[in-house]
Amino acid sequence: MKLNERSVAHYATCDSPADHAGFLRKRVERHHHHGTSYQRRWFVLKGNLLFYFEERESREPVGLVVLEGCTVELCEAAEEFAFAIRFDDAGARAYVLVADGQAAMEAWVKALSRASFDYMRLVVRELEKQLEEACKSLAACCKSPRRSFSSGRKRHLSNPALLPLQEKPTTLENGYSTWGSGGFVAGGATCTDHYGGQMKPPPLPPRRRSDAGSAMGSPAPGLSPAMLESPVSPETICFSKLHNWYGQEIAVLRREWQERQKRGHP
Amino acid sequence: PRVPAVLKKRLVKLVVNFLFYFRTDEAEPIGALLLEHCRITKEEENVFSISFIEEPERKYCFECATEEQCQEWVEALKRASYEFLRRSLIFYRNEIQKMTGKDPLEQYGISEEARFQLGAPRQ
């Protein structure tokens, strides 16, 4: 079966961080079972893919195990610290691997058990639901009527996971009005660069990032709107719930502003 | 400009982060594309392409029966990478944590794993 090997090798060896890596001894599977032997290989786990290399510095993997539909279990082999990757498909060969020690073995088993795409997808779907629930329960106690939102809220909408995948940020405004009403879709990042691995992470709401900077050195005579922008809009979410949190921040900012006023704008 | 290749009819199946392709009526795939570090591009009508970061000029082109189908494929493929899922997870985790003050990953026992951390290095 053909595979885009060059791309696969690139993914295996590029400097994207591995989820786990280390030396393991791999049992050699021979047709005529003349005793068992093991080969030491450098293993790299990235996502649901377990690559192995002849040497740590090798430019290409010599093998790849796709970790879907498999279980990882401790092994009854004669070797100590052995574990096996076995597939639901009985016809598929199992991989018996041996770690250097107890800690290494446990770390590998843990990492490999949770490596599947299916597992990841399960967790993401669950979190999606939890976020939806959290939004709904906060919205439910909100007494103020929903209002339409200015484009200043646009930044908040770059919450790509809650929107259908869109190319242009201008559609975010439309998407905002459906926020919290269900139909959440795990959308892609809205930035136009769609290289799977090169994409920037979903942008965090700006408040936390700009807050630290502007609170310190802003010469503005008033609190700029950006500083009050919050990850959870007070207009849709019951403001009283967040009052304390905001209240403290606003108090600090006001004090600083007042002091700057007294000093006559340094 | 490359000489346009011959288009062959294939059955295409997206399974996790792999795109398998089959000759029609055959059970075994003849090939697969790993969908990590790739770009999905909508080309002309009914057509989309997949290209990979280390060889961006090489495009795997697919022609669909309808434009609607084409859009569906583009949407699905853009979200097909493991790395996309990982980023979604980190994003949701962070949002839930901010809203509820609780880490939703604790129940899974994976809250400490490096690859799910907010500050985890990006590819």
Q: CATH number for the domain including B28?
A: 2.30.29.30
Total-model pTM: 0.66
CA distance A198 to chain B (A): 6
Give yes or no for a contact between A7 and B55, defined as CB atoms under 8 angstroms apart.
yes
The pLDDT of A75-95, averaged and rounded, is 87
Quote the minimal CA–CA distance from B5 to chain A in Å: 17
CB within 8 A of A32, min separation 6: which ones? none
How high is the pLDDT of residue A60? 93
In a domain, B92, yes or no: no
Helices (H) and strands (E) in chain A, counts: 8, 8
What was the pLDDT predicted at A206?
Answer: 42
Work out the end-to-end distance of chain B between its first and last CA atoms, rounded to an integer number of angstroms: 30
Q: Quote the Cα angle for A48-B22-B32, to 5°.
A: 30
d(CA B73, CA B86): 21
Would you give per-residue pLDDT tens digits along chain B (123 residues)? 444 567 788 899 999 999 999 998 888 999 999 999 999 999 999 999 999 999 989 999 999 999 999 999 999 999 999 999 999 999 999 999 998 888 988 887 777 776 677 655 444
Residue B53 covered by a domain: yes
Structure tokens at B120: 């985890």
The answer to whether residue B16 sits within a structural domain is yes
Q: Which residue of A has its CA nearest to B40?
A: A194
Whether residue A59 lies within 8 A of chain B, CB to CB, comes out as no
For residue range A44-77, what is the model confidence (pLDDT) as tens digits?
999 999 999 999 999 999 999 999 999 999 987 7
Per-window interface: A 87-106 vs B, CB < 8 A: none
A206-211 mean pLDDT = 39
More confident residue, A66 or A198: A66
Q: Domain range holding B77?
A: 11-83
* Residue A3 token pair: 């595979």
The least confident of A5-19, A191-205, A209-223, B29-43 is A209-223
The domain total for chain B is: 1
Which of B85, B97, B117 best tests the A interface by mutation, with the highest count of A CBs <10 A? B85
Percent of chain A surpassing pLDDT 90: 40
Residue among A3, A48, A124 whose CB faces B17 most closely: A48
The half-sphere exposure of A102 on its side-chain side, counting CA atoms within 13 A, is: 0
Q: Do B87 and A199 touch (CB under 8 A)?
A: yes
CB-closest option in A117, A124, A189 to B16 = A117
Residue B102: inside a domain: no
pLDDT at B64: 93
Residues A125 and A34: their CA atoms lie apart, in Å, by 47
Top-confidence residue, A76 or A189 = A76
Contact B77, B66 (CB under 8 A): no
Nearest to A195 among B53, B55, B98 (CB): B53
- Label residues B39-69 b or e (16+ Cβ within 10 Å = b): bbeeeeebbbbbbbbeeeeebeebebeeeee
Which residues 6+ apart lie within 8 Å of A195 measured at CB?
B37, B38, B39, B53
Strands (E), B38-105: 38-42, 47-52, 55-63
CA distance B115 to B123: 12
Question: Tell me: the pLDDT tens digits for A224-241?
Answer: 333 333 344 434 333 433
| Residue B45 located in a structural domain | yes
Contacts of B86 (CB under 8 A, 6+ apart): A47, A120, B115, B116
DSSP code of residue B107: G
CB-based contact B93 A159, cutoff 8 Å = no
Chain B positions in Cβ-Cβ contact with residue A196 (cut-off 8 Å): 35-39, 81, 83-84
What is the β-pairing status of strands A38-46 and A20-27? antiparallel
Is there a contact between B51 and A7 (Cβ–Cβ < 8 Å)? no
Provide DSSP, A151-187: GGGHHHH--GGGS---S-GGGHHHHHHTTTSS----P
- Residues from chain A that touch B95, judged by Cβ atoms under 8 A, are 131, 159, 161, 231
In terms of CA atoms, which chain B residue is nearest residue A161? B88
pLDDT tens per residue, range A24-45? 999 987 766 677 889 999 999 9
pLDDT at B40: 95
pLDDT at A160 over 60: no
pLDDT > 70: what percent of chain A? 55
Task: Report the residue of chain A nearest B16, measured CA to CA.
Answer: A117
Mean model confidence pLDDT for chain A: 68
Determine the Cα–Cα distance for residues A211 and B96; give it in Å rounded to an integer. 20
Which pLDDT value is given to residue A190?
Answer: 34
